[in-house]
Amino acid sequence: MNTPDFDAIKSKQKLMWASGNYAKVGSTLQLSGELLCESMALSAGQTVLDVAAGNGNATLAAARRFCRVTSTDYVQDLLDQSMVRALSEGMEVNYQLADAENLPFADNRYDNVVSTFGVMFAPNQVKAAAELLRVCKPGGRIGLANWTPDSFIGQLFKIIGRYVPPPAGVSSPANWGAESFIEANFAPQAQNIAIQSRDFLFRYLSAEHWLEEFRTYYGPTHKAFNALASEQQVELANEILSLLEKCNVATDGTLIVPSTYLEVVITKKA
């Protein structure tokens, strides 16, 4: 099998994540960052590196706990969105443009390394996992929140992939939500791995409301629809609406869709 051109793939990914307005969707996921920081038992004054930080959910959660946070992403627009949020709350955060597969930091530098629904999208998954381990101090912690393959979002990825296939040789981001992936990539350097299954609840007015928000603001769905002819756009919309209705647990006429993710806290060997 030919090795994928990861640089070319990431160039396209950057355009995808810069499209729409991720903050409109990303900010609704703030709870996952707060829960992760609690599970990691962060202490004030510790150093935290947020990798593929997006609009800063884990970044802000760690800063609220008076940690010294460095927030990174390879899309400047996303860092700018996070910076606006941090400034509005009077928080001091160090922002730096950085590739999750080639972090510009020394070995063993950070007490804690985190990523919520971020590093899982790096195309070279093995290299990205190795980078998280490399920059984490011995005895430090790596905290992750990753959608599982069978979750609502995992199923959404599969639907989109049928209409807009991923680049050849690139694995699904949802691999990071499989315990086997975590064990294979982190266990050799881990003192302990704690994994908890959580459900995030997407709460919207209706299935149509969810689709409109994600079609307009969320990079992967925004770009997928724009890549299709109008007839295929209708077909994709109908498939997503059908999935939403199938997963909806609301009883009041609105939309509440649980999506399972793995919350992972890895303690690196001392």
CATH 3.40.50.970 fits 6-200+259-268, yes or no: no
The pLDDT profile of the chain, 270 residues, written as one tens digit per residue, is 568 888 888 888 888 888 888 889 999 999 999 999 999 999 999 999 999 999 999 999 999 999 999 999 999 999 999 999 999 999 999 999 999 999 999 999 999 999 999 999 999 999 999 999 999 999 999 999 999 999 999 999 999 999 999 888 888 999 999 999 999 999 999 999 999 999 999 999 999 999 999 999 999 999 999 999 999 999 999 999 999 999 999 999 999 999 999 999 999 999
**Tokens encoding 148:** 């599982």
| pTM across the whole model | 0.95
Bridging pattern class, strands 94-97 and 110-116: unpaired
Ordered by start, the domain boundaries in the chain are: 6-200+259-268
